[in-house]
Amino acid sequence: MQRRFIQRFLNKNIFIIPSFVLLLLFILGVSIGSTSIPFYSIIQSFSDAFFKTNYVPDDIQTIVMNIRVPRVLLAGLVGACLALAGVAFQGILKNPLADPFTLGVSSGASVGAVFVLFFQISLPIVTYFTLPVVSILFGFFTLLLLILFVRKLDRSLNVETLILGGIIISSFCSALLSLFITFSDNELRSVIGWLMGNIGGRGIQYSMTLLPFLILSFLILFGQHRQLDAMTFGSTNAKHIGIDVKKVTYVILFTGSILSGAAVAVSGTIGFVGLVVPHFTRVIVGPLHRKLLPLSMINGAIFLIGSDIFSRVILAPRELPIGVITSLIGAPIFAIILLQMKRNRGKR
């Protein structure tokens, strides 16, 4: 009853609170660090950067515009991508435990990314986007392989079987990654190191690489929001009410791969964001994808910016990899969702 009351209230103003929280965390994320920067200095830095004013000293300006803002922006965008990917995979696979990490899509995409870095590949046409494009394709083929394999075990793509398949693929991919690292020199080793899930020390161009993929994918997914709703009731029912199941499935799976692959290409594997965020967003607004998609995107940004701040302050001046924080939160929630599902199945 209480859950419904909260849902009713928030349904009317679903974006107000999250947008406000996002803005607050953005400012907090820029402000907090080894040099803490007060709010008005942040505003002044922005003014200096965009209106050629001269309020703040250059060193503050550099910290804000070249280090903090790119970092917080990237955290937000990666969080949004991973959360959206989670929503897409969960809807189409009817599996609340599906996310880029648990399905092994992230691992597959990292193999692709490391492959590009290791052999210094640059593809024609996509040139600047070689890294994300290869990551996306690797992620997508990993996903297809997973589904093909799990279909052989169990035609209905059972929740647990799918995750088990994801573990097999993840293990295999991380072995491949270790192999690459063993064969690479020191410089490359650090490059591969930050593929393990890190968002610090990246310039604004990483966010600019990610942004087009995020916008495109969101538009595709939002255009299919009713189809996603229908697919959660199973492909047979979806087909009976007029969904082109095959087409929708491939479009959604590929879009999910775009989001996960692009995120991995800029920040490495950050686990469980796509699991935690949609789960809580569903508790707040219910499962309708019309609301779930945009709100998960905002909440994903909130979650990752928050985790990033946390990873910087908890052991300051030392910094934890952000993936540690998300896994510390995500793994127990994974367990809780699993328990809930078992309990519900008992009731049905």
State which of residues 229, 310, 320, 324 lies at the interface with other proteins (CB under 8 A): 229
In the complex with other proteins, which residue's Cβ is closer, 44 or 281?
Answer: 281
Which has the closest alpha carbon to 248: 208, 203, 289, 190? Answer: 289
Please give the distance of CA 282 from its chain centroid, rounded to a whole number. 17
Cα distances (Å, whole numbers) of residue 203 to 1, 35, 65, 73, 312: 47, 19, 10, 10, 18
Give least dist CB 63 to other proteins, A: 44
In the complex with other proteins, which residue's Cβ is closer, 39 or 250?
Answer: 250
- How many residues touch other proteins under the rule CB under 8 A: the total is 28
Which three-class secondary structure state does DSSP give residue 226? Answer: helix
Count Cβ neighbours within 10 Å for each residue of 92-116 and write b for 16 or more, e otherwise. Answer: bbbbbbbbbbbbbbbbbbbbbbbbb
In the complex with other proteins, which residue's Cβ is closer, 131 or 157?
Answer: 157
Which window, 30-38, 49-57, 127-135, 231-239, contacts other proteins (CB under 8 A)? Answer: 231-239
Give least dist CB 100 to other proteins, A: 19
In the complex with other proteins, which residue's Cβ is closer, 67 or 220?
Answer: 220
Question: How many CB atoms are closer than 10 A to CB 20?
Answer: 10
- Tell me, residue by residue from 93 to 132, as one string, x for binding to other proteins by CB under 8 A and - for no binding: -xxx------------------------------------
- Within 184-244, residue ranges assigned H as helices are 186-194, 204-223, 225-231, 235-240
Q: Which residue has the tokens 């709010």?
A: 39
Question: How many CB atoms are closer than 10 A to CB 250?
Answer: 13
Q: Is 160 in the site for other proteins (CB under 8 A)?
A: no
Upstream peptide bond of 317 is cis (omega within 30 degrees of 0):
yes
State which of residues 35, 233, 336, 342 lies at the interface with other proteins (CB under 8 A): 233
In the complex with other proteins, which residue's Cβ is closer, 3 or 189?
Answer: 3
State which of residues 127, 155, 344, 346 lies at the interface with other proteins (CB under 8 A): 344
Q: Is 337 in the site for other proteins (CB under 8 A)?
A: no
List of residues contacting other proteins (CB under 8 A): 4, 90, 94-96, 223, 226-227, 229-230, 232-234, 236-237, 239-245, 282, 286-288, 344, 348
